[in-house]
């Protein structure tokens, strides 16, 4: 008996006002009528590979084993950039090889990387401007039907890395930055909460904001007050209780964040 098709989780910068995301779904369903499609997000900032990287890194492990992630944030569409399929123990990822999957190297045991080149699985003729429709969607459909990734092209060992900023430590302080700002205006940093020594006070500085101590929840300070807490991805986050830290502080992704450890 055939296993029922897994899930395709879509992550694109196509937005929802145009037909692009809908057409990708239509093509997947044309190839694999039983496919189950879940929108991870279509509202990645246009061509922001780093934002897609962050979003996917914080999401994929919460999906059922067997999920196929289809990532189309692809400023190089139509150029010589490769399309890759990557298999780990639990998941398959299909994406342009532009660094968006770069976290896999570090976080998962990669089983195979395949450079997707077999035009037999593409929608012909392949346009130069919409590989989501002509390459990613039909290949995803065939993968969901059970076609082996190995048939899609040649194996390769290389996966493009994205240089993502990491926090660094100096005596008595951790220096990081804002790596994402969410819909609530919370500032998500690259400072892992494990770096905060338990039982020591800290001071968090970001832009004009200075915060003393780490709150347990977004409600750990009075409404409208700035606070720092541990976000759901395990990193230090700066928020305003019932408000927007981004608006309060006027900061953007990339803004430096300094955590000073107070002497014991």
Q: Which is nearer to a copy of itself, 3 or 264 (CB)?
A: 3
Distances (CA, A) of 16 to 8, 24, 100, 253, 261: 18, 12, 21, 23, 44
Q: Which of residues 61-100 bind a copy of itself (CB under 8 A)?
A: 62-64, 67, 75-79
Q: Which is nearer to a copy of itself, 27 or 152 (CB)?
A: 27
> Which segments of the chain are extended strands (E)?
7-12, 36-41, 68-72, 83-88, 92-96, 110-116, 153-156, 168-170, 173-181, 187-192, 202-206, 209-212, 226-230, 235-240, 256-261
Q: Does residue number 160 form part of the binding site for a copy of itself (CB under 8 A)?
A: no
Task: Determine how many CB atoms are found less than 10 A away from the CB of residue 188.
Answer: 21
- Retrieve residue 238's tokens: 């700066």
Judged by CB under 8 A, does residue 30 bind a copy of itself?
yes
Does the footprint of a copy of itself cover residue 232 (CB under 8 A)?
Answer: yes
- Size of interface with a copy of itself, in residues (CB under 8 A): 66
With CB under 8 A as the contact rule, the residue among 8, 44, 204, 227 that binds a copy of itself is 44
Locate 16 and state its tokens: 């929802």
Binding residues vs a copy of itself (CB under 8 A): 7, 9, 11, 13-23, 25-27, 29-30, 33, 37-47, 55-56, 58-59, 62-64, 67, 75-79, 127-130, 133-134, 180, 182-185, 216-219, 229-232, 237, 242, 244
């Amino acid at each position: 008996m055939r296993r029922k098709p897994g899930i395709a989780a879509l992550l694109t910068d196509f937005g929802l006002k145009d037909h692009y995301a809908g057409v990708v779904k239509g093509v997947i369903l044309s190839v694999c009528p039983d496919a189950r499609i879940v929108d991870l997000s279509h509202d990645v900032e246009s061509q922001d590979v780093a934002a897609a990287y962050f979003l996917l890194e914080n999401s994929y492990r919460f999906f059922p084993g067997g999920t196929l992630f289809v990532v189309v944030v692809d400023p190089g569409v139509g150029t010589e950039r490769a399309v890759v399929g990557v298999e780990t123990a639990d998941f398959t990822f299909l994406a342009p090889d532009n660094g968006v999957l770069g976290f896999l190297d570090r976080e998962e045991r990669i089983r195979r990387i395949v450079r997707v080149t077999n035009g037999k699985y593409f929608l012909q003729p392949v346009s130069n401007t919409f590989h989501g429709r002509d390459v990613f969607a039909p290949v995803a459909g065939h993968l969901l039907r059970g076609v082996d990734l190995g048939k899609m092209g040649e194996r390769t060992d290389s996966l493009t890395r994205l240089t993502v900023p990491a926090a660094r430590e100096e005596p008595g302080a951790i220096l990081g930055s804002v790596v994402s700002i969410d819909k609530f205006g919370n500032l998500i940093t690259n400072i892992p909460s494990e770096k905060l020594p338990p039982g020591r006070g800290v001071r968090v500085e970001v832009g004009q904001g200075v915060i003393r101590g780490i709150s347990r929840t977004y409600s750990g300070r009075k409404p409208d007050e700035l606070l720092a807490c541990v976000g759901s991805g395990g990193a230090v986050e700066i928020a305003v209780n019932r408000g927007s830290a981004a608006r309060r502080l006027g900061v953007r992704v990339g803004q430096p964040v300094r955590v000073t450890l107070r002497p014991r």
